[in-house]
């Protein structure tokens, strides 16, 4: 199944989905050395974002989050791709700094359609994902 | 988004990898904000300097940029660091922190950024002209540049301001466009304001009401640079205000007065200002008194020195820029403050220095911005006019 969306940062990636219904802050929300979500009470606490297609509504929190995304990329603990409902400056900046494919505004709501563990292809260059 | 041939070349790597990376960042943000194209910017002011905030992650990124040969194409100044770059030991900053901080500064220096380490570039000669497009980060400087100087910038972040400095471009959206600079709310000040502290309280109150809108403020006259500095810092702290207009004062106010029909009017009465001033009332006698958020002007340093003629400056820390410090030093003002027991530090301030790690628990300040952030970091904070903090005299 192919769904079109808006490309923010181009690139191609594939991997297992990790879906969060809650907005996410990379600053303070994740251990950059391992990629494990550490934010107390977050629905995905204890899960790793490393190599996953990380799907969440939008970013929040400090702009330092940009640098954290970049650090994770360098350590190999970053998501393979990011999909937001509606992205914002921090996530866009961090993904662009690291060259991580980023899309938003899919034609269908990915939070409803996709479950954690589904295998996803993200072709941000062409502006679509495949489940 | 439309790119010129030169911009395409920058994006494709024809001008080096660092330029290509910076360009891809700006294009990504242009997509997010649906900008039609990029626009040339004349200057940048870059935040994201304190090692306390950036840590190893930020250091790694910036050192790699410098290593890759990133270099600024336009004038670029730097926001405060986490310590006085020379007197950090005396401040109580750890050698480990200092090492990280100095490496961060060195990375910026290699890229050609002026190591100004101040949130008030406009007080040391970095003053964009009215109507010019710039890429400034640091919320208080953004509000000042947009509103008081009439320059055009969005609220940039450290990485976007740096990318703009490297490419000389920024995505054309938001406050760069005339139609988004129109007022969206009218604030009518119904009480006379006398001091810088009052302007801080007013800014903090308007920011809470206005959120991210553009306030058109009536009822102010004879406002000093220091008062506008306090207003700009507070209004950008409690809300996300990046631009305001003051009737009869700021450069675009007259033009914008044509767009006031039908806007909501919010009155500001003495009670509401008093209520704001009473928000931060925690710290006791042992609090460290911190002045200089935003960094002190020469006139403010003179005022501190004058107040210290009658009392001790024990537990008083004053923060200013290198540029203003040098002038104050020549005039004997730094010595006067330090001989009374106070300390004058450059390059840093109470908000970005690692105060908690330095063992601080209580701070008294005349800045609403500092009070807001220090409080959110878990310190106990008192906010009061300088003359109350230091006892006696009149504050301008």
Residue B70: its chain A contacts at CB < 8 A?
Answer: none
Residue A9: which of B28, B54, B160 has the nearest Cβ? B28
Residue extents of the structural domains in chain A: 2-130
pLDDT at A60: 85
CATH number of A2-130: 3.50.30.10
Nearest CA in chain B to A124: B28
Q: A7-11, B118-122, B239-243, B316-320: which range is least confident on average? A: B239-243
Q: Which residues pair with A44 in a beta bridge?
A: none
Record the pTM: 0.93
Q: Considering only the beta carbons, identify the residue of A8, A63, A97 that sits closest to B32.
A: A8
Q: A87 at the B interface (CB within 8 A)?
A: yes
Q: What integer pLDDT is reported at residue A49 of this predicted model?
A: 98
Query: In the 8-state DSSP scheme, what is residue A101?
Result: -
Q: Which of A71, A95, A102 sits opposite B57 (nearest CB)?
A: A71
Number of A:B CB contacts under 8 A? 68
The pLDDT tens digits of the residues spanning B63-96 come to: 999 999 999 999 999 999 999 999 999 999 999 9
> Does pLDDT of B239 surpass 90?
no
Can you tell me the ipTM of this complex? 0.86
Q: What is the pLDDT of residues B338-358, one digit of tens each?
A: 999 999 999 999 999 999 899
**Chain A residues closer than 8 Å to B29 by CB:** 89, 92-93, 96
Given a cut of 70, whether residue B392 has pLDDT beyond it is no
HEC letters along chain B: CECCHHHHHHHHCCCCHHHHHHHHHHHHHHHHCCCCEEEECCEEEECCCCHHHHHHHHHHHHHHHHHCCCCCCCEEEECCCCCCCCCHHHHCCCHHHHHHHHHHHHHHHHCCCECCCCCCHHHCCCCCCCCCECEEECHHHHHHHHHCCCCECCCECHHHHHHHHHHCEEECCHHHCHHHHCCCEEEEECCCCCCHHHHHHHHHHHHHHHCCCCEEEECCCCCCHHHHHHHHHHHHHHCCCCCCEECCCCCCHHHHHHHCCCCCEEEECHHHHHHHHCCCECCCCCCEEEEEEEEECHHHHHHHHHHCCCCCCCCEEEEECHHHHHHHHHCCHHHHHHHCCCEEEECCCCCCCCCCCCCCCEEEECCHHHHHHHHHCCCEEEECCHHHHHCCCCCC
Say whether B32 and A32 touch across the interface (CB within 8 A).
no
Residue B393's pLDDT band (cuts 50, 70, 90): very low
Exposure of B256 in the CB half-sphere (CA atoms within 13 A): 28
Q: Mean pLDDT across the stretch B175-180? A: 97
Average pLDDT, chain B: 95
d(CA B114, CA B112): 6
Q: Is A62 on the interface with B (CB under 8 A)?
A: yes
The residues pairing with A119 across neighbouring beta strands, listed in sequence order, are: A16
| A26 Cβ under 8 Å from any chain B Cβ | no
Decide if A88 touches B, using CB distance below 8 A: yes
Q: Does the pLDDT of residue B394 top 60, yes or no?
A: no
> What pLDDT score does A126 carry?
97
Residue ranges of domains in chain B, CATH in brackets: 5-178 (3.30.499.10), 182-277 (no CATH), 288-390 (3.30.499.10)
Q: What percent of chain B is modeled with pLDDT above 70?
A: 99
The edge-to-edge listing of strands for the beta sheet with B43-46 is: B75-78, B43-46, B135-136
Q: What is the pLDDT of residue B77?
A: 98
Does B31 contact A67 at a Cβ distance shorter than 8 Å? no
For residue range A87-121, what is the model confidence (pLDDT) as tens digits?
999 999 999 999 999 999 999 999 999 999 999 99
Residue B185 confidence (pLDDT) above 90: yes
Cβ distance of B60 and A74 shorter than 8 Å: yes
Whether the predicted pLDDT of B396 surpasses 50: no
């Amino acid at each position: 199944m192919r769904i079109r969306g808006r490309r923010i940062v181009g690139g191609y990636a594939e991997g297992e989905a990790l879906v969060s219904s809650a907005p996410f802050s990379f600053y303070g929300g994740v251990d950059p050395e391992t990629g494990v979500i550490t934010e107390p009470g977050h629905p995905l606490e204890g899960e790793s974002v490393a190599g996953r297609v990380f799907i969440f509504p939008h970013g929040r929190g400090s702009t330092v989050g940009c640098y954290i995304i970049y650090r994770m990329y360098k350590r190999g603990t970053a998501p393979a791709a990011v999909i937001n409902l509606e992205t914002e400056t921090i996530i866009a900046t961090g993904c662009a700094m690291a060259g991580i494919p980023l899309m938003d505004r899919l034609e269908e709501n990915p939070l409803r359609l996709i479950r954690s563990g589904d295998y996803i292809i993200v072709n941000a260059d062409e502006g679509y994902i495949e489940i | 988004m439309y790119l010129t041939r030169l911009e395409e070349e920058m994006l494709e790597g024809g001008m080096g990898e660092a330029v290509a990376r910076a360009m891809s960042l700006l294009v990504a943000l242009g997509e997010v904000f649906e900008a039609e194209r990029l626009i040339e910017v004349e200057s940048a002011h870059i935040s994201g300097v304190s090692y306390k905030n950036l840590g190893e992650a930020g250091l790694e990124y910036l050192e790699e940029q410098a290593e890759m040969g990133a270099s600024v194409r336009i004038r670029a100044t730097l926001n405060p660091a986490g310590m006085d770059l020379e007197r950090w030991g005396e401040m109580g900053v750890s050698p480990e922190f200092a090492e990280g901080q100095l490496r961060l500064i060195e990375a910026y220096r290699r890229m050609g950024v002026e190591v100004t380490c101040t949130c008030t570039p406009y007080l040391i000669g970095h003053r964009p002209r009215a109507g010019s497009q710039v890429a400034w980060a640091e919320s208080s400087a953004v509000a000042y540049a947009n509103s008081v100087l009439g320059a055009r910038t969005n609220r940039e972040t450290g990485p976007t301001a740096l990318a703009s400095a490297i490419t000389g471009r920024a995505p054309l959206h938001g406050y760069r466009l005339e139609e988004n600079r129109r007022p969206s709310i009218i604030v009518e000040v119904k009480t006379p304001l006398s001091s810088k502290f009052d302007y801080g309280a007013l800014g903090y109150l308007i920011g809470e009401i206005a959120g991210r809108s553009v306030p058109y403020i009536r009822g102010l006259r004879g406002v000093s640079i220091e008062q506008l500095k306090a207003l700009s810092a507070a209004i950008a702290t409690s809300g996300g205000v990046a631009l305001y207009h003051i009737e009869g004062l700021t450069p675009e106010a007259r033009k914008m007065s044509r767009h006031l029909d039908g806007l909501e009017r919010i009155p500001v009465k003495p009670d509401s200002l008093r209520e704001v001033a009473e928000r931060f009332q925690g710290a006791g006698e042992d609090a460290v008194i911190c002045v200089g958020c935003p960094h002190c002007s020469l006139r403010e340093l003179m005022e501190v020195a004058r107040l210290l003629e009658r009392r001790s400056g024990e537990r008083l820390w004053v923060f200013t820029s290198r540029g203003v410090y040098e002038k104050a030093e020549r005039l004997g003002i730094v010595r006067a403050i330090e001989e009374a027991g106070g300390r004058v530090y450059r390059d840093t301030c109470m908000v970005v220095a690692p105060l908690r790690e330095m063992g601080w628990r209580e701070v008294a300040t005349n800045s609403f911005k500092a009070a807001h952030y220090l409080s959110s970091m878990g310190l106990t904070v008192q906010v009061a006019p300088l003359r109350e903090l230091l006892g006696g005299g009149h504050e301008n």
